Amino acid sequence: METTELCYPELHNISCRKPQRLQDAMLFYNLLCLMSLLTVTMNLLVIISIAHFRQLHSPTNLLILSLAVSDLLVGLLLIPAEILITDSCWFLGNTLCILFYMIDLTIILSSIGNIVLISVDRYLAICDPLHYNTKVTVNRVMFCVCACWLCALIYNSLIFTDYFIDPDAVSSCYGECVVVYNHVTGNVDFVCTFIGPVTVVVVLYVRIFMVVVSQARSMQSKVVTLHQTVTMPARKSELKAARTLGIVILIFIVCLCPFYIPSFTGEDNEEYSSITFFFSWLWFFNSCINPFIYASFYPWFRKTIKVIVTLEILKPHSSYATVL
């Protein structure tokens, strides 16, 4: 009986025990599979919409596209891999285990970088509208997005260098896949990937809020110059985009904060295994919910979904269709 509970029965002394299945496991895994399917499908619609329709090739939408790519990878790679780790033993070896965690954290860090870039974009659009079009161009945004992904990959490659050199040191027995930071690495990672970016995002959006309040007061007093009157329609669209992306950022931070609780309390992740499991799925839920926020607040996304689902996207010159 003891042997059947081991991941590697032939390695009796060094094999891990098989994970215990959760109660109502079938319902639980069906929900996770549904989440994975929704995450992939909805974010794929976002990616196709922005990439295909030329009217949507704006700097802000390129940042949304980058965030949708990271959310797509969460649904396509991370959720299925987490189901595998939770429900069964890890039979792919320690090297692939470390590679999985490196990809996992690279996607998370790139998402955080995208959120920071979105906040900077909204800050410049609201607080410096006269120079926004000259400062924020499609080429510059593409460079920043590529740099964001590259920096995330390089950062996590440096973090996991020691693990790749000695992959057997990360597991206490055969059949588990877990990586635990020491306190120094955990604290540095906590500051670089959470405290710093979240501080930047909060400061920028507080500044945006102050500017919006100031503009509202000036409008109420009816002291409006000719220049302000001319630019008002554009300003309204920028404010709407700031509100929508502000909701995305707020939900992102709410879902991300619990993920860093072990680092905040100074405890090792393995001591929080059951809690960390819930926090991971909360983070995955964020990747699933973002496209529904776009659908709720962006009419162009609802229009493009209709075009894609009805296969009108296959028509010639469909990329020039009016969706705004």
Which H or E run contains 303?
Answer: helix 299-309
> With pLDDT > 90 as the criterion, what percentage of the chain qualifies?
30
Over residues 93-119, mean pLDDT: 89
Neighbours of 137 (CB within 10 A): 12
Q: What is the pLDDT of residues 172-225, one digit of tens each?
A: 777 778 777 777 777 788 888 888 998 999 999 888 888 877 776 766 665 444
- Cα–chain center distance at 231: 33
Residue 248 reports pLDDT greater than 70: yes
CATH code linked to domain 58-276: 1.20.1070.10
**Any residues with CB less than 8 A from the CB of 144 and at least 6 apart, and which?**
117
Angle in degrees, 0-180, between the axes of helices 59-73 and 273-297, rounded to the nearest 10: 140
Token pair of 84 as six digits: 């595998």
Q: For residues 235-248, give the mean pLDDT.
A: 77
Q: What pLDDT is stored for residue 242 in this prediction?
A: 77
Residues facing residue 15 across a β-bridge: 174
Give the pLDDT confidence score for residue 128 in this predicted structure: 86
- Helix boundaries (H) for 128-224: 129-135, 138-159, 161-165, 183-190, 196-220
pLDDT band for 154, please (50, 70, 90 cuts): very high
Q: Kindly report the average pLDDT of the chain as a whole number.
A: 81
Domain boundaries, the chain: 58-276
CA distance 298 to 310: 19
Predicted pLDDT of residue 308: 93
What string of DSSP letters covers 76-135?
IIIHHHHHHHHHS---S-HHHHHHHHHHHHHHHHHHHHHHHHHHHHHHHHHH-HHHHHHH
Kindly provide the b/e burial profile for residues 92-114, where b requires at least 16 CB atoms within 10 angstroms of the residue's own CB.
eebeebbbbbbbbbbbbbbbbbb
Rounded average pLDDT over 301-323: 90
At 221 the pLDDT is: 61
Find the mean pLDDT for residues 254-271: 62
Residue for token pair 């309390």: 265
Phi, psi values for residue 197, rounded to 5°: -60, -45
Residue 96, CA distances (Å) to 100, 101, 131, 179, 197 in order: 6, 9, 47, 12, 29
Q: pTM score, two decimals?
A: 0.85
Task: Note the pLDDT of residue 22.
Answer: 55
User: Under DSSP, is residue 4 helix (H, G, I), strand (E, B) or coil?
Assistant: helix
CA 168 to chain centroid, in Å, comes to: 30
